[in-house]
Amino acid sequence: MSNERIDAVEAVSFNQALWYWLKLGFISFGGPAGQIAIMHQDLVERKRWISEKRFLHALNYCMVLPGPEAQQLATYIGWLMHRTWGGVVAGGLFVLPSLFILIGLSWVYMAFGSVPAIAGVLYGIKPAVTAIVVFAAYRIGSRALKNAWLWSIAAAAFLAIFVANVPFPLIVLAAGILGHFGGKYAPSRFAVGGGHKSADKAFGPALLDDDTPTPQHALFTWKRFAVVLAVFMLIWLAAITVLSFMYGWTGTLTQMAWFFTKAALLTFGGAYAVLPYVYQGAVDNYHWLTGLQMIDGLALGETTPGPLIMVVSFVGFVGGWTKAVFGPDAILASAVVASFVVTFFTFLPSFLFILLGGPFIETTHGNLKFTAPLTAITSAVVGVIVNLAVFFALHVLWPHGMHGGFEWPSLVIGVVAAIALFRFKVGVIPVVLASGVVGLALKLLVS
């Protein structure tokens, strides 16, 4: 890089970056697409901290990983700029504002959820969330299902989980194996790339430009790889050992730690893909919350900043409240601690993937492609999300079971929400808020 280009962009201090990541944590609405768009506009176009090609190179890596890609992208850029602590701060601040907001909303929900006004708002939001899940399935499916083979995988995944109640990890494993052999023997059928378009815009020189040498701390060495892996394994082992020692392996907090560690490794395709797995475990197996509470939690998650997978902190809060881990006189403390435990174990693997794999990715500049197994997994994820939408619809339209009354107002709200999302491209938050207002109005008119 020439001296002229070096002088064109000022260096960014750790404190400057810290304040930006904190601000991002409070404004990161709009799901992964919206969050990535905010970072691109700020970091690539305005601040010029990183070039477009380098930004997309990092994003393509994050898209391949399990976990929230926007949070991982922030972690990656923070790490690239300011070493390990830069990544930890960027990724942590992406999540923390959402965590505290959700804890507050979860407390209001559990303490005052039966109050008519709040119950009315939730009544309107539930069918809107169902429409949002259908829209998510459409959005992912329109990109992923490019031929009859992939459609068949999606249909098989739906039937497996809806009819046979096959665990989500087995569906992912089966799809991955099918994709591996499909890519080997029918590569054209599994060559649906999932990456982003190559950079074709120039926004001027950047601090981390296309030809900026990789920083010393980002160079790959096997020694560093081993150290990072060992440190993260020790952190995880120490945390779960302490919980097991204090509450036993079958204790609520220990089981939450173990369950959400597994969930974190299965979030291919985003939060909507892993929610059925979380539902199977949290509702069916552990009884930390009910199915209707799960829908309410997703609604709260949709209206807060941060990655949608933060809905797991709501699951932890309700589970801690329900199980009264610290006894009946400390229900709120039980809920808050459970929420922190769940969030910690859900996001720990995301930091590991970036700090462990980032140096290798920095040695391979060029567009990463989705592998054939990942293409098959993404197709299966579409079927799993459709199952989630069906589950939500059944619980919203027949809240008292199929032999109970049918909720016609919920159907109308859901259909209008779907029209707003599909036809008029209205954002998720306006749809949720408007549906909540309609639900409140209906409850006030009836009462």
d(CA 198, CA 139): 21
d(CA 285, CA 291): 12
- Give the DSSP letter of residue 219: S
Q: Please list the ranges in the chain whose pLDDT falls under 50.
A: 1-7, 193-200, 366-370
d(CA 133, CA 391): 10
Burial annotation 26-65 (CB, 10 A radius, 16+ → b, else e): eebbbbbebbbebbbebbbeebbbbbbbbbbbbbbbbbbb
Q: Hey, what are 114's tokens?
A: 């039966």
Q: Are 15 and 85 in contact (CB under 8 A)?
A: no
Angle between helices 69-112 and 331-361 (to 10 degrees): 170
Q: Are 56 and 44 in contact (CB under 8 A)?
A: no
Q: Are 174 and 154 in contact (CB under 8 A)?
A: no
pLDDT given at position 34:
66
d(CA 374, CA 190): 9
Q: Hey, what are 224's tokens?
A: 């560093």
Secondary-structure percent of the chain, ordered helix, strand, coil, rounded to 5: 75, 0, 25
What's the number of CA atoms in the CB half-sphere (13 Å) around residue 363?
A: 9
Single out the residue of 101, 99, 124, 119 nearest to residue 109, CA to CA.
119
d(CA 244, CA 256): 11
What's this model's pTM, rounded to 2 decimal places? Answer: 0.76
pLDDT given at position 120:
86
Q: Are 393 and 130 in contact (CB under 8 A)?
A: yes
Angle between helices 271-279 and 291-302 (to 10 degrees): 160
Question: What type of residue sits at position 47?
Answer: K
pLDDT given at position 143:
72
pLDDT given at position 296:
87
pLDDT given at position 160:
93
Q: Hey, what are 193's tokens?
A: 């790339």
